[in-house]
Structure 1
Amino acid sequence: MNRKWLNNEKNRAENSDEKKIINLYKNTLNIDARNKQGIGPIKGMLEELRNIKTIDDLSELTLESKVESPLIEFSCSVDLKDATKNALYVESTTLSLGNSDEYVKPTEKSARIKSLAENYYNTVLTLSEYTL
């Protein structure tokens, strides 16, 4: 987290991307509040996962689902600073084309896949009413 962001938090618009990042950062570090909440925040996600019985059920999960996000990946793993604890990691998803060579030296197939991926992300952002 950029310390300047935290120091200038009061100067950020309430619904700005920077304010949202600051809130996510603070919420991640607020262990007491997270422990108090327990599994409450993920109960909906767990219920959706429990209700999956068929491939069709799995296919019906949408971008509005509480289960997945195409742009941000959450994972829980051993804390890199203390191996006796687990930590939540927030990461970007992997490259759409698989490896960086596909971007630098595109093949006909990778150029087609890149075009489809760009169209998909643009559609998702448009449908979510995202603006710059």
Structure 2
Amino acid sequence: MPQDILGAVKRGIDMFDCVLPTRSGRTGLAFTWNGKINIRNAKYAKDEDPLDKSIDCPASNLYSKNYLNHLVNSNEILGSMLLTWHNIAFYQDLMKKIRQAIKENKFDEFYKKNFKLFNEKN
């Protein structure tokens, strides 16, 4: 989970190997800067917004939540593929922002803000 990555970096860990973005994508779970989204939920069946416009990935900002909801609930392999692509892009974005915060000597501030965000939304 994103908060686990933040906690690991805070403890000095700087290398990770994790299947979470892929496994989560296969089950309909997407990570965003607004928290986790279970795209299988009926509330996304009519949601025309993308998963997360701030992430530089076509799967994140070109496909609507309602389309992804349809794909995943229809067991279309494309749904899992798009969510996996998005989740990997999200984690890359998370690590990029962590590196930037460290360079600017603002990691503690970044940690507090985002650890709280990910725990509130989950």
Which has the bigger relative contact order, CA under 8 A and spacing at least 6?
A: 2
Query: Radius of gyration: which is bigger?
Result: 1
Q: In proportion to residue count, which structure has more helix?
A: 2
TM-score, length-scaled by structure 1: 0.29
TM-score, length-scaled by structure 2: 0.30
Q: In proportion to residue count, which structure has more strand?
A: 1
